[in-house]
Structure formats: C-alpha cells, structure tokens
Amino acid sequence: MGRRSPYPLEFRNDAVALWRAADGKRTYASVAADVGATGETLRSWLRQADEAAGRVRGDEQTPSGPG
C-alpha cells in the first residue's frame, strides 16, 4: 500500500484540468511547476484520472467491470 498523498483530491483534479486546458501547448513539468508539484507527479495524477474515467491510454484499455 502506498502512502497517502499530501495533495487533496480537488487540488489534483484542478492540476489535471489545468494541464488538459493547455491542450498540448505546455509540458507536464511546466504545468506541474505552476502548481508546486513535479512533472512525474502530474503524469501520475493524469493516469489515475484517466483510469477512473475508463479512458484508453496507449494500447491499454481500463477494464470497465463485469458485464
């Protein structure tokens, strides 16, 4: 089990929304620096948000559950 994040969920969601609003015009590191995190941390939050929404990343698709 991992340790608990020092960043509240709303903060992480806002950072993800900020990166998505940049529409590819900014790097992970650039957006992350604006919110006081690292680029790798922001990438992790994006991956988690995509998995929670059932979005496809690369060649992998998140399972949608039974049925």
Is the pLDDT at 63 greater than 70? The verdict is no
List 57's β-bridge partners, or say none. Answer: 60
Kindly report, residue by residue over 7-28, the tens digit of the pLDDT: 999 999 999 999 999 998 999 9
Determine the 3-state secondary structure of 61 from DSSP.
coil
State the Cα–Cα distance between residues 65 and 67, nearest whole angstrom.
7
Per the listing, tokens 């340790």 go with 3
Can you give the pTM of this predicted structure? 0.74
List all residues 6 or more positions away from 32 whose beta carbon is below 8 Å from its beta carbon. Answer: 15, 38, 39, 41, 42
Kindly report, residue by residue over 24-56, the tens digit of the pLDDT: 899 999 999 999 999 999 999 999 999 998 876
